Structure 1
Amino acid sequence: MAPKGYDVRIVLDEDVPEVLAEGLRARGARVATVNELRERIEARRSGDLAGEPISDEEVCREVASEPSVLVSLNLRDYADLASMQKLAIEHGVSVVIARPPKAEAGARQRPTAIADIVHRHLPRIVSMYGDEPLVGSANRRSLRVRPALEILRAAAPARVDATPRVDKPPRRRLPRRGRRKPEPPGAGTLNIDGP
């Protein structure tokens, strides 16, 4: 029997390893991958649209067609305010960005790290579905969640009232501990003036 709240569908973005879907399904979670959603959209198409590329807008509508939370690794797409507004605000979908540690960025370790993050926070990820779309950032230790509207409101004044940037000279880097200090000019040269 699936745990309470697992009637919310977890949608795995294209950049999330599809192996994760099998593990989540074994735990009783409802899971779909973006590739599976694209196949469903393609199967429903007919006539002139058959064979045409599927737009992100169509995928967003398909994700929003059922109670869903999208899990992605693509911070760039969801840090972009326009993308966040389209998915979270217009379609009412909550998004979780899984952030595996850089130490486990290798091809062998990365899927395991992502699976660990999602499995660890699964009950809380599922609970993100609700009246208000949320944006979460998850690592092994925590899942930070903020309302999408709050993020957009906080960013809006910065975009509207932004003052022009003044180019500043580059900051001088101070030597770190343990590094050799630069040698003064002429150091290391030996001048021998003969008699």
Structure 2
Amino acid sequence: MPSLKIRVRRYKAEELEVGEVVLGVLRLKGEEEREASGNPLEVLLSTAEAEARGRRPDTDYYEVIVEDGETRRVLGEGPRYTWGRRLAFKPERLLRVGIVRRNALNPLVSAPPSEEELEEAELAEKLAGGESVGAYVFKLDDVEWHDVEGEVYVYEGTLALRDPETSNVALVILETESGRRYLRVSRASRKSKSSRTQQ
């Protein structure tokens, strides 16, 4: 039987305040590594079952990762983790958060574009160093970037504004180790009452 590398990563859910944006995130609380042998799928399931039975008060979500020489199997579970919308497809380390204000957004077009116009707009956007989201374009220079320190991860979580009535935040950019994710902000976003960590 091949030797298997097992990693168990444990996370605590919390809210992170970045500028005037409040994000539901996961903070890595600990990681264990060990080796085993056997059927990789059976080892994955038995490790996950043992983790679920040994519930820890400081763990809201955990991942079990089993690797042999060729394959990586991952199982994530959150017995007490029930936060909002999907911010990433798996827990991804958050490097920084970008905020784009409403006044920085420019309509891409006023009428549905032809294919030729769309190609020209994409080329102009690339040449201008901008980004487009939906039907809007903004300059990367207009993004307010906030670095995130520590082992903070995004997966499923809340996205709210501290003061949605007065805020002019239109987009939030989550930059992770895997790339960028653009999220529209609704004026209906409500601030949560649970504890927060400020950046």
- Normalised-by-shorter TM-score class: under 0.3
- The structure whose RCO (Cα within 8 Å, separation 6+) is larger is 2
Task: Give the TM-score taking structure 2 as reference length.
Answer: 0.22
Instruction: Please identify which structure carries the higher strand content.
Output: 2
**Under a length normalisation based on structure 1, what TM-score does the superposition of the two structures give?**
0.23
Task: Tell which structure's C-alpha radius of gyration is larger.
Answer: 1
> Counting helix residues as a fraction of each chain, which structure ranks higher?
1
